[in-house]
């Protein structure tokens, strides 16, 4: 039950990150409250996983573990930038006077948020097998049904296909490269679609990371079996 609660809090933090991107719909106060709640959950996540940090230097670093470590460092950098610019730009919770470089701070804030979205998805995708194993153990499911497994894969594939379309619809590449775009979202008509698009992009990135490592791992096991023979 504790593990499920921790996973639920991590999922909530990811959802809050997406919600924070809907600034023009929620307004500044709601945006700052959502951001504050997200950072509280991030702190809780690191406290819960303090033993993982303690073991960071121990053991063998294979390709997957090394890449996950790089992604975590990049994610930490994005979140640190997001927090620093949040303090600089805060008007309601902290009430600081606008800095002279407020325009640059806003650009960096937006850039860190979208790259944070990418890094969170990559982190989840790389660790997906571990997350699912922990979840199955927590709920007492020892054997995964083949039918359910393929059903989940089909659902993931469908969401990922929508994520490809959403990348274009939201001009994600422009946002990641700080290229000005004219994608003005009408939240009055399609607020739900905004959240679905961002979450589907996270599923797309996470699925690409997960299945890429699955293919690499299967090829490695196949080559090792060939050598053994």
| Domain extent for 168 | 2-228
Mean pLDDT of the chain: 83
User: Based on the structure, what is the number of domains in the chain?
Assistant: 1
Residue 138 banded pLDDT, cuts 50, 70, 90: low
pLDDT at 221: 61
Q: Which residue has the tokens 């989840």?
A: 124
pLDDT of residue 121: 94
Instruction: Please give the C-alpha separations between residue 52 and each of 47, 188, 217, in angstroms, as whole numbers.
Output: 10, 43, 23
Instruction: List strand residue ranges (DSSP E) for the chain, in order.
Output: none
Q: Structure tokens of 28?
A: 């500044």
**Residues in contact with 101: Cβ distance below 8 Å, sequence separation at least 6, in sequence order:** none
CA 220 to chain centre: 27
pLDDT at 145: 60
Residue range 110-118: mean pLDDT, rounded: 96
Q: What is the pLDDT of residue 217?
A: 72
Measuring CA to CA, which residue among 213, 206, 202, 223 is closest to residue 64? 213
pLDDT at residue 175 in the model:
93
For residue 191, what pLDDT band results from cuts at 50, 70 and 90? confident
Highest mean pLDDT among 2-16, 43-57, 177-191, 192-206: 192-206
Residues in the chain: 229
pLDDT at residue 218, as a whole number: 74
Q: 114, 107 in Cβ contact below 8 A? A: no
**pLDDT mean over 131-147:** 64
Rounded average pLDDT over 31-37: 95
| pLDDT over 90 at 3, yes or no | no
CA distance 210 to 138: 21
């Amino acid at each position: 039950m504790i593990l499920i609660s921790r996973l639920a809090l991590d999922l909530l933090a990811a959802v809050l990150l997406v919600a924070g991107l809907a600034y023009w719909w929620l307004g500044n106060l709601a945006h700052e409250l959502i951001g504050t709640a997200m950072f509280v959950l991030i702190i809780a996540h690191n406290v819960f996983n303090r033993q993982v940090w303690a073991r960071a230097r121990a053991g063998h670093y294979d390709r997957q573990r090394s890449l996950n470590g790089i992604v975590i460092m990049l994610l930490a950098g994005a979140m640190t930038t997001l927090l620093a610019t949040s303090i600089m730009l805060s008007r309601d919770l902290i009430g600081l006077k606008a800095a002279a470089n407020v325009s640059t701070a806003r650009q960096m804030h937006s850039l860190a948020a979208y790259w944070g979205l990418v890094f969170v998805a990559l982190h989840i995708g790389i660790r997906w097998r571990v997350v699912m194993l922990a979840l199955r153990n927590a709920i007492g499911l020892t054997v995964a049904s083949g039918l359910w497994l393929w059903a989940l894969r089909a659902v993931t594939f469908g969401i990922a296909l929508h994520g490809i379309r959403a990348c274009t619809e939201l001009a994600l590449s422009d946002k990641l490269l700080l290229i000005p775009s004219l994608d003005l979202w009408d939240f009055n008509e399609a607020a739900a679609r905004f959240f679905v698009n961002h979450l589907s992009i996270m599923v797309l990135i996470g699925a690409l990371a997960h299945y890429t490592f699955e293919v690499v791992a299967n090829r490695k096991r196949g080559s090792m079996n060939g050598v053994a023979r």
